[in-house]
Amino acid sequence: MGGLELAAERLAVEMAKRGHNVHVVTSDSTGRSRSLAGPSVHRLPVTIKVFNTPVSLAAYRVMRKLAEDADLIHTFGYPVFFSDISARVAAERRVPLVLEWVMDPRRITEYRENVIARGLTDFYFKIHGNTVFRRAGAIVLTCEEFRRYLVHYRLIPSPEKLHVIPRAIDTKLFTPGPIRQDIKDSSEFLILYVGRISEQKGLDILLKAFPGVLRECPNTYLVVIGPRENADYWRRIEQYLSKCGGHVRFPFGTKGAPHDQLVEYYRAADVVAFPSRYESRGMVPAEAMACGTPVVGTPVEGNEELIRQAGILVPIDDSRALEEALKRLISNPELRETLSRRGHELVSEEYDWERNADRYEAIYRDLTE
């Protein structure tokens, strides 16, 4: 489950816990249902996927029916399909719309390099424009960078609609704690990567950097946790793995890890590497910092501000800079301790989930009263 999906789930569960009647409409492309405590979940079959966007012909009918008794609609994602349907239904039923905007797809490398994707996306924005932005009563962003982007390119009619709410994590789960000896031996230095094994997440950049780290720090190990998505990309990864001398571990194979187990690896790691090429709502840096683990990462959307304040930033696609940053942390325990303390304090104060839920609830109240 990605960061955006996890954020939507947590918000739905929290609002149901607070006494609100919550219905979640989502696509079900895997056929694996996931029950939630509190909200009613409506899983729609995927008729077709347009690149990464699921399309369900049942969406309009189901959402229009549910909206008969709705006081508000909250849609997650950039304005493509489900957000479009949400905006249309909100206008028809005359209920407020909240848009959780995560990124402009035109900024994603895969879209820019794919002629068909770029053409369809450009056509969509040219014809449809900022209809969803215009209809939304409130637009929630995860960082100030997104606010500046929308205002600069005049993609919104009313800047006062914008609300910046940083990504939140479960600060009761992600906390510093004892290190399990079966995860890390006391003589080892552990670098942790958490995320999908995909072009977007940049594991190839980390694996390019890792042999240089090993040459100076031979007791270093890299732990990779995340699902494999693309066979072609995995073949590229295998080439890099062959140069790492058996110092790369996949404790969960090529699958992800449950959050209650993931926290144990955050605690055991000396450094978390976050080499992503782009993000919408990446949660890894905040989760790592909450556990007191320093982060080396790239200045991607929604994460740059956090890492700049309490981690080490390296340029996107720069394996040499990543290598040097990792070696710097390995050789400097005082710096690791400083970043550990700073990151934990910052995330505990600003990224607490219950505090963020209060912010969402205030937006809902302003739109419905």
* Rounded average pLDDT over 66-75: 95
* Statement: residue 220 has pLDDT above 60: yes
Instruction: Specify whether 363 is located in the same domain as 251.
Output: no
User: Diameter of the chain by CA atoms?
Assistant: 64
Separation CA 317–CA 313 (nearest Å): 12
Instruction: Specify whether 233 is located in the same domain as 338.
Output: yes
Residue 177 placed within a domain = no
Residue 174 placed within a domain = no
The pLDDT tens digits for 314-338 are 999 999 999 999 999 999 999 999 9
Comparison of pLDDT for 279 and 252, the residue scoring more: 252
Residue 183 placed within a domain = no
* Rounded average pLDDT over 218-236: 92
Q: What is the pLDDT of residue 195?
A: 93
Instruction: Specify whether 115 is located in the same domain as 256.
Output: no
Lowest mean pLDDT among 1-10, 31-40, 182-191: 31-40
Helix (H, G, I), strand (E, B) or coil at 273: strand
Mean pLDDT of the chain: 88
Residue 67 placed within a domain = yes
Residue 173 placed within a domain = no
Instruction: Specify whether 312 is located in the same domain as 244.
Output: yes
Question: In DSSP terms, which residues pair with 45 in a beta bridge?
Answer: 28
Q: What is the pLDDT of residue 354?
A: 86
Instruction: Specify whether 247 is located in the same domain as 160.
Output: no
Helix ranges (H only) for the chain are 3-17, 59-66, 82-93, 109-113, 115-128, 131-135, 144-152, 203-216, 231-241, 259-268, 284-290, 304-310, 319-330, 333-350, 353-368
Q: What is the pLDDT of residue 128?
A: 67
Instruction: Specify whether 143 is located in the same domain as 259.
Output: no
Residue 179 placed within a domain = no
Instruction: Specify whether 158 is located in the same domain as 10.
Output: yes
* Statement: residue 149 has pLDDT above 90: no
pLDDT > 90: percent of the chain: 57
Q: Are 193 and 266 in contact (CB under 8 A)?
A: no
Residue 180 placed within a domain = no
Instruction: Specify whether 335 is located in the same domain as 363.
Output: no
Residue 140 placed within a domain = yes
Q: Which residue has the tokens 């905006």?
A: 87
Instruction: Specify whether 145 is located in the same domain as 250.
Output: no
Separation CA 355–CA 111 (nearest Å): 35
- Angle at CA of residue 302, ends 35 and 161, nearest 5°: 85
Comparison of pLDDT for 178 and 35, the residue scoring more: 178
Residue 8's pLDDT band, with cuts at 50, 70 and 90, is confident
Comparison of pLDDT for 102 and 105, the residue scoring more: 102
Lowest mean pLDDT among 138-142, 147-151, 244-248: 147-151
* Rounded average pLDDT over 288-312: 92
The total number of structural domains that make up the chain: 2
DSSP string for 276-345: -S--SS--HHHHHHHTT--EEE---TTTHHHHHHHSEE--TT-HHHHHHHHHHHHT-HHHHHHHHHHHHH
Q: What is the pLDDT of residue 105?
A: 66
* Rounded average pLDDT over 353-368: 93
CATH number at residue 259: 3.40.50.2000
Lowest mean pLDDT among 14-28, 33-47, 340-354: 33-47
Contacts 24+ apart (CB under 8 A), 320-325: 320/209, 320/212, 322/205, 322/206, 322/209, 322/273, 322/275, 322/296, 323/209, 323/210, 323/212, 323/213, 325/296
* Rounded average pLDDT over 63-88: 88
Instruction: Specify whether 162 is located in the same domain as 193.
Output: no
The domain containing residue 340 runs over which residues? Answer: 189-349
Residue 301's pLDDT band, with cuts at 50, 70 and 90, is confident
The pLDDT tens digits for 157-216 are 788 899 998 888 888 899 999 999 899 988 899 999 999 999 989 999 999 999 999 999
Instruction: Specify whether 161 is located in the same domain as 211.
Output: no
Instruction: Specify whether 195 is located in the same domain as 118.
Output: no
Q: Which of 357, 170, 356, 353 minimizes the C-alpha distance to 260?
A: 170
Residue 121's pLDDT band, with cuts at 50, 70 and 90, is confident
